[in-house]
């Protein structure tokens, strides 16, 4: 079976000039790979008609599927639509279906159409529209002698929604794709090279049709197995067997699979036990609460959080003892112990989390350098603490601390299960 191959074209001067990081091409690459479509080329060109048309022409020669993002705004610098009309030799006309969907979208947000926004529904005559329930620019699908061009908006969440709900299902229907099975094992609390050492023997004995990728991010780590074959049942069974062999080596670090996140797994465990969570975060500044509340339905188990960013707030509002802060400092095991215990009680929760540290880049001392962070997890009267020595980078420190705190909570939840 010949592999179906795709090219991704991203359009926009802001990408070529280095002002916007092209995360769309990256996301689409991953989505196509999971679907069994082989990406052979990615191209970025600017907002220039000849460049865009040239990219279309070259892509059509080498790929079966050409996915395009960007350049769909209503303003003059957005050229994707006129270029598509020219390439497919047709006019741009008001599309009634697109207009009524656009009106419905605007009405649902309590807004009316202005002249420029209305133009979003004017589309090349030869396209089929790909609805966008998340924004004003709809997608366009063109068939040309067995090849597909599909243009999507550049706003990442709109493009992702459109790919997931419309484009991928249609590609799966129109093309014959190999059977691919992905299984992601999600780990926390272990680094990439430590993991690689632990599983070296297992990795070296993987069969030829199964490949392995390490995908690390801020202390969170994904191991992705990809099996290709002819029958889904067969490669699914094969992958499951391989993971069964792997688990004894790594099970204490595994928190979930596939689309699980640390926060969604924690949510499931808390909901199952009818238990509640509260958080007191200083150096993480609200980011841990943000992660917990980004899970739909988190109000079932999350009572609330506080971010006492000043010492007197820690004392007056969270009840940390003044003597503790005077004697040990706000960044200390003693202080996070009280923070975790007190927030648990104040917010009537079963589990209390706390963080306090020097996120940086300023504020460090020889005894307490930037990157020193204490975290704690309280459950009943038992409080576990952990000390982290992180980086000089504020954003990195916040992210790694959040993962470490959620990892600590997850461990406690599993122990008590």
Judged by CB under 8 A, the chain residues 204 through 263 that form the site for a copy of itself are 211-217, 224, 226
Radius of gyration over every alpha carbon of the chain, rounded to an integer in angstroms: 26
Residue selected from 174, 203, 333, 411 as contacting a copy of itself according to rule CB under 8 A: 203
If we measure between CA atoms, which residue out of 209, 235, 210 comes closest to residue 224? 210
Distance, CA of 405 to CA of 378 (rounded, Å): 11
Under the binding rule (CB under 8 A), the answer on residue 412 touching a copy of itself is no
Question: Taking the complex as a whole, how short is the minimal distance between the CB of residue 91 and a copy of itself, in angstroms?
Answer: 22
- For residue 40, the minimal CB distance to a copy of itself (Å) is 6
397 interacts with a copy of itself by CB under 8 A: no
Which of 125, 331 has the CB closer to a copy of itself?
331
1 contributes a contact to a copy of itself by CB under 8 A: no
Report the site for a copy of itself in 295-354 (rule: CB under 8 A).
Answer: 296-299, 302-310, 312-313, 317, 346-348
Give residue 362's Cα distance to chain centre: 29
Going by C-alpha positions, the residue among 399, 377, 379 that lies closest to residue 390 is 399
Task: State the residue for tokens 């392995």.
Answer: 212
Q: Kindly state the smallest distance separating residue 349's Cβ from a copy of itself, in Å.
A: 10
Closest approach, Cβ 192 to a copy of itself, in A, equals 6
Stretch that binds a copy of itself, among 40-48, 144-152, 248-256, 264-272 (CB under 8 A): 40-48
Q: Closer CB to a copy of itself, residue 322 or residue 392? A: 392
Token pair of 60 as six digits: 């059509």
Closer CB to a copy of itself, 128 or 393, in the complex: 393
Nearest distance in Å: CB 407, a copy of itself = 17
β-bridge pairing 5-11 and 65-69: parallel
Residues within window 360-389 making contact with a copy of itself, judged by CB under 8 A: 360-363, 371, 389
Q: Which is nearer to a copy of itself, 128 or 203 (CB)?
A: 203
- Work out whether 290 is an interface residue with a copy of itself (CB under 8 A): yes
197 sits in which H/E element: helix 192-198
Question: How near is the Cβ of 327 to a copy of itself at its closest, in Å?
Answer: 21
Tokens of 187: 């780990």
Residue 152, H or E segment:
strand 147-152
- Min dist CB 415 to a copy of itself, Å, is 25
55-114 residues in contact with a copy of itself (CB under 8 A) are: 55, 58, 73-77, 108-111, 114
Tell me how far, at minimum, the Cβ of 274 lies from a copy of itself, in Å.
14
With a CB cutoff of 8 Å and minimum separation 6, the contacts of 151 are: 68, 69, 72, 80, 81, 84, 127, 139, 140
Alpha helices in 220-295 (DSSP H): 232-250, 262-273, 287-293
**CB-CB contact of 13 with 77 (8 Å):** yes
Tell which positions 158-177 bind a copy of itself, by CB under 8 A. Answer: 161
Residues in the chain: 417
The dihedral over CA atoms of 205, 206, 209, 211, expressed in degrees to the nearest 10, equals -130
- List Cβ neighbours of 202 (8 Å cut-off, separation of 6 or more): 242, 245, 246, 249
Nearer to a copy of itself among residue 27 and residue 175 (C-beta): 27
């Amino acid at each position: 079976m010949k592999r179906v191959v795709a090219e991704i074209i991203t359009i926009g001067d802001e990408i070529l000039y280095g002002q916007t990081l092209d995360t769309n091409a990256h996301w689409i690459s991953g989505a196509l790979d999971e679907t069994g479509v082989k990406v052979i080329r990615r191209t970025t060109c600017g907002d220039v008609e000849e460049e865009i048309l040239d990219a279309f022409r070259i892509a059509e020669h080498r790929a079966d599927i050409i996915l395009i993002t960007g350049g769909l705004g209503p303003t003059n610098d957005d050229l994707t639509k006129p270029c598509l009309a020219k390439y497919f030799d047709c006019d741009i006309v008001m599309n009634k279906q697109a207009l009524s969907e656009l009106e419905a979208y605007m009405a649902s947000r309590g807004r009316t159409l202005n002249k420029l926004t209305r133009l979003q529904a004017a589309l090349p005559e030869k396209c089929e529209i790909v609805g966008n329930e998340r924004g004003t620019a709809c997608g366009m699908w063109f068939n040309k002698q067995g090849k597909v061009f599909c243009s999507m908006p550049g706003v990442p969440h709109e493009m992702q929604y459109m790919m997931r709900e419309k484009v991928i299902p249609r590609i799966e229907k129109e093309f014959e794709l190999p059977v691919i099975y992905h299984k992601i094992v999600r780990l926390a609390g272990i680094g990439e090279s430590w993991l690689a050492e632990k599983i070296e023997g297992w990795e070296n004995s993987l069969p030829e049709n199964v490949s392995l990728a390490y995908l690390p991010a801020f202390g969170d780590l994904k191991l992705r197995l990809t099996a290709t074959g002819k029958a889904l049942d067969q490669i699914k069974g094969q992958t499951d067997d391989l993971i069964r062999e792997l688990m004894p080596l790594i099970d204490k670090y595994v928190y979930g699979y596939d689309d699980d996140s640390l926060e969604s797994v924690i949510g499931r465990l808390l909901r199952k036990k009818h238990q509640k969570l509260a958080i007191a975060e200083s150096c993480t500044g609200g980011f841990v609460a943000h992660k917990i509340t980004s899970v739909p339905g988190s109000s079932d188990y999350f009572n609330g959080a506080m971010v006492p960013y000043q010492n007197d707030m820690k004392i007056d509002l969270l009840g940390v003892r003044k003597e503790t802060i005077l004697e040990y400092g706000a960044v200390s095991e003693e202080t996070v112990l009280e923070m975790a215990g007190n927030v648990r009680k104040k917010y009537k929760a079963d589990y209390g989390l706390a963080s306090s540290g020097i996120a940086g880049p300023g504020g460090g001392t020889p005894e307490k350098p930037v990157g020193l962070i204490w975290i704690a997890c309280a459950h009943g009267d038992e409080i576990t603490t952990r000390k982290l020595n992180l980086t000089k980078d504020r954003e990195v420190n916040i992210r790694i601390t959040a993962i470490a705190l959620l990892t600590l909570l997850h461990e406690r939840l599993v122990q008590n299960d």
